[in-house]
Structure 1
Amino acid sequence: MGFPTTVKDHPVVRRAIHRLDALGDPRLGETLIRCLDDTLARTIQEMPDGTAFVVTGDIPAMWLRDSSTQLMPYLALLGDNPPLQDLVLAVLHRQFQQIAHDPYANAFNAEPSGRAHDPGDLCDDPWVWEEKYEVDSLALPLLLAHRFWRATGRTDHVPGALRTARTAIGVWRTEQDHEHRSTYRFRRDDCPPGDTLADGGRGTPVARTGMTWSGFRPSDDACRYGYNVPANLCAAAALDGVAELSRHAQDPGLADSATRLAAELRAATLRHGTVEHPGFGRIYAYEVDGRGSTLLMDDANMPGLLSLPLVANVPVTDPLYLATRRFVLSPANPTWCRGTAAEGIGSPHTPDDHIWPIALAVQGLTSDDEAERVALLRTLLATDAGTGQMHESFHKDDPGRYTRPWFSWANAMYAELALDVAGLGTRPLWARA
């Protein structure tokens, strides 16, 4: 059937360009079109079964998390646009297939080619590029499915979404007692510590808390402690959406199951995943183990602590979030840095003193300060090293030193922020007052 490869003439995009041009720099709108069209034209492949496979950019695999975030800006463009709706639907159906095939995998091949990030991994499934279990790999497709329904009213995908939700709930329930119930293992030889799990592939020990365990962070780096706080809150938000979809589909049993688990995850996170900080008051930790160990930091990837209003139904006015935000955007956060080119959050996944455009966009999307949002949009433009696209990260003093020349998720985040600054973004789909 052929999917759209450009949105430059879309009426919402044209209105956004007009409003961005009023800020005095035509590159703001030009970059918006470039980022939106690049995803459509270069990352999405229509498959013989009618689904769509989405590469991350310069890696030829489909990540469940990345493919969800790559499509989020288009939610603002779906009204009265069946071709774009069908594209998102095709991606959702592909995600549902992948989760049904292996709910512990984070990235997949387009066909059973046997290609893999590391052929020596324990998982030798030819469909699986990598089997790093991350809570967000299950949560973000469910968030996308719910927001697609909210944006379009279409229900073509709901049966698949509810089947996927049952799978996710089963995994998250199992991983609430990782030590005794989980058979998942990940072990990689001859690699940095962040690329494998300790204790024979089980991960560092955890106590049962009511939170659900994750082997890896949204950065694909191993969790230091097994309970990742933003991932648990993101899972709870995904379950909120599942409950709403289930009630619409007249499946009260699934709605009740999703509601109960969401409540458990939130209660356990508040009890075990928050700490009293001497400089900021009560804040969210990034990871805990239920045994007394706590990691205070944030990571530029989503879900992270800064992005909780975007992915976890946490109000931007929530006092606990605001205290955490102050910590995250300060030198107290070990991944935050300030340079001559920019200041912002990085990640242990990339070199020291590197800032992530994703985090800058998230900072803008979670701010109610119009001047700050516009300033961050300009910073993204000023730190693209003249390429017209976003990168994974750049050096705080020299944007010409960057990682990943083609990273579609970062392009999508620029587009989200640009549409939001223009007053035409997806904020009504996630913002909770």
Structure 2
Amino acid sequence: MRAGVCVILAMGALATMPWAAADCNPPMRPPANQRKFASQAVDSIIASYQPKFKDAQLGQIFANALPNTLDTTVFEHTTSGELAPDTFIITGDITAMWLRDSANQVAPYMRFVSQDSGLFSLISGLVRRQARQVLVDPYANAHQLEGSPPSPHTDDSTSTPAFAGTRVGAMGPTIFERKFEIDTLANFLHLSASFFAAAGKDQPTFGAPVNAAGQTWADAAELVIDTLRTQQASSEEEGGNPPYLFQRTTSQPTDSLQFGRGAPAARTGMIKTGFRPSDDAHTLPFNIPGNAYVVVALREAAAVLSALGRADTAASALALADEVNAGILAFGVVNHPGANGTVLAYEVDGYGNSYFMDDANLPSLLGIPVYGWTNTTDPLYMRTRALLLSKANPYYFSGSVGQGTGGPHDGLDRIWPMSMVARASTALSDQEVLSVLEQLKGSTACTGLMHESINKNSAGSYTRPWFAWANSFFGGLILDLAETRPHLIFA
């Protein structure tokens, strides 16, 4: 996903911005009759929490951000018909549905599905839509609604093996983009397992057909497992006709893979990926936070598959998770001259090479505890985290607006507020959380919403004014703090 930079303030102006001004961070929800989807449970929690905030601006940003996905990005939700419920959620300013983004966009609402039948239907429809998309093509990261105009990426050279060593183009009419990213499949499994746990077992989401062929969620989950196993293969094992190739004619080198494959990979037990969660090409093919997320998601999916009576598939998921986890520990834990002990690499190739950095998009090294692969007091994670929040990470930036991680996607000196949320979510001290909340408030440039990235010295220079995932992640952080550290935000 790429978008231009908005500049609404002169460079450095935010350093003297009067944040207490009445017109800073105003209400930004659309009028009620223009909202795409209404949730009584979400509106009620906003009404309950907002008056309690010590900082009224922080409370207003929460009130804007938490419902932003519901208010603005539910592109279609149908409750009748053979394949209903069916939900299509766009990213915001891009009219396409990323499996990763849409799963994260609804994540903070999962706690409300048992008390809100509308949300239940919405997320049930999203799980079913994602299952259908996986069955269309497990290598695609983003899809468009049936009947949409052709994707701007129809000219991408991406293919799959065919008869007698030949290949066929793989871009289909409902595929928006076909960048293979292992976190895409992990997000599908995690979304599904989270909904299964929140909604209860006795509901039709996982047993009813999700497409005209009569396939179900379990068929999609099995295809995910098979695809991940396929991508365990080394480059040498794949030979000259690999299962996935991707190239794009572009001025951005990170939008394409060298020779359609990217860097060579040895067999490690982990899953190689073409692209990172940022949609940028890998430098080395095994993304460690992505593989850690795969481990968690496979284990969660195994519990769902077991409950559905698919014991063999559940066992396959668990076995694969163990192989991937062993690969992370064997190849992804490395020495670094800036650390007193081992740390997690961001990417490795299985040949002994590693790359230490972080990218703000989740799953990230900083955000690994968010998904449960480890916890915030794990010494390995703590050493890694300390190094990430330092100049040892080439994409860690510090300026007058704040400190945080960016990535190659938007370039130098650009902090992603998403990385600030991940930092607050993994902070051990109240002081660090409060510091990050203040920076997040300043990152909005008085718009009342989160953005994709900001200049480290001027929040008014930002990308993507309508980026629902970042808003949901911030809203979820506040919901978590309300439960675990209410004294930090409430009077």
Stretch deviating more after TM superposition (216-225 or 312-321) = 312-321
Partner of 2:229: 173
**RMSD of the TM alignment (CA)?**
1.9
Secondary structure in 2 aligned to 1:405? coil
Partner of 2:162: none
- Following TM superposition, by how much is the alpha carbon of 1:227 offset from its aligned partner in structure 2, in angstroms? 0.6
Distance 2:270 2:69 in 1: 35
Partner of 1:144: 191
- After superposition, the Cα gap between the structure-2 partners of 1:76 and 1:36, relative to the gap in structure 1 and judged at 3 Å, is same
Partner AA of 1:104 in structure 2? Y
Secondary structure in 2 aligned to 1:337? strand
Partner of 1:428: none
- Following TM superposition, by how much is the alpha carbon of 1:371 offset from its aligned partner in structure 2, in angstroms? 3.1
- Following TM superposition, by how much is the alpha carbon of 1:10 offset from its aligned partner in structure 2, in angstroms? 4.0
Match of 1:157 among 205, 218, 222: 205
Partner of 1:79: 114
Distance 1:112 1:315 in 2: 44
1:16, 1:424 within 8 Å by CA — same for their partners in 2? no
Partner AA of 1:95 in structure 2? Q
The answer as to 2:311 corresponding to 1:252 is: yes
Structure of higher RCO (CA pairs closer than 8 Å, 6+ residues apart): 2
Match of 2:50 among 8, 11, 17: 17
Distance 1:183 1:343 in 2: 40
Find the structure with the greater CA-based Rg. 2
Give TM-score, length-normalised by structure 2: 0.82
- Following TM superposition, by how much is the alpha carbon of 1:312 offset from its aligned partner in structure 2, in angstroms? 4.3
Partner of 2:459: 399
1:16, 1:419 within 8 Å by CA — same for their partners in 2? no
Partner of 2:489: none
Distance 1:156 1:31 in 2: 36
The answer as to 2:474 corresponding to 1:414 is: yes
- Following TM superposition, by how much is the alpha carbon of 1:314 offset from its aligned partner in structure 2, in angstroms? 1.3
The answer as to 2:439 corresponding to 1:379 is: yes
Distance 2:200 2:50 in 1: 27
1:12, 1:424 within 8 Å by CA — same for their partners in 2? no
- Following TM superposition, by how much is the alpha carbon of 1:397 offset from its aligned partner in structure 2, in angstroms? 0.6
Distance 1:410 1:53 in 2: 18
Distance 1:82 1:178 in 2: 46
Matches within 5 A, 1:12-411: 12-19=45-52, 21=53, 24-47=54-77, 49-50=83-84, 51-122=86-157, 123-154=170-201, 155-159=203-207, 160-179=216-235, 180-181=237-238, 182-198=242-258, 200-280=259-339, 281-411=341-471
Q: Unpaired segments of 5 or more residues in structure 1? A: 426-433
Percent identity between the two aligned chains: 38
Distance 2:50 2:113 in 1: 17
Secondary structure in 1 aligned to 2:390? coil
- After superposition, the Cα gap between the structure-2 partners of 1:247 and 1:9, relative to the gap in structure 1 and judged at 3 Å, is closer
Distance 2:473 2:148 in 1: 31
- After superposition, the Cα gap between the structure-2 partners of 1:65 and 1:353, relative to the gap in structure 1 and judged at 3 Å, is same
2:416, 2:453 within 8 Å by CA — same for their partners in 1? yes
Partner AA of 2:195 in structure 1? F
1:7, 1:36 within 8 Å by CA — same for their partners in 2? no
Partner AA of 1:231 in structure 2? G
Secondary structure in 2 aligned to 1:313? coil
Stretch deviating more after TM superposition (189-198 or 296-305) = 189-198
Partner AA of 1:170 in structure 2? D
- After superposition, the Cα gap between the structure-2 partners of 1:343 and 1:7, relative to the gap in structure 1 and judged at 3 Å, is farther
- Following TM superposition, by how much is the alpha carbon of 1:47 offset from its aligned partner in structure 2, in angstroms? 4.6
* 1:73-128 C-alpha deviation (Å, 9 max, x unpaired): 11122232111111111111111111110100000111243532433202431111
How many residues are aligned here? 420
1:356, 1:393 within 8 Å by CA — same for their partners in 2? yes
Distance 2:178 2:151 in 1: 10
Give TM-score, length-normalised by structure 1: 0.92
Secondary structure in 2 aligned to 1:79? helix
Distance 1:302 1:190 in 2: 25
- After superposition, the Cα gap between the structure-2 partners of 1:3 and 1:246, relative to the gap in structure 1 and judged at 3 Å, is farther
1:176, 1:210 within 8 Å by CA — same for their partners in 2? yes
Partner AA of 1:176 in structure 2? Q
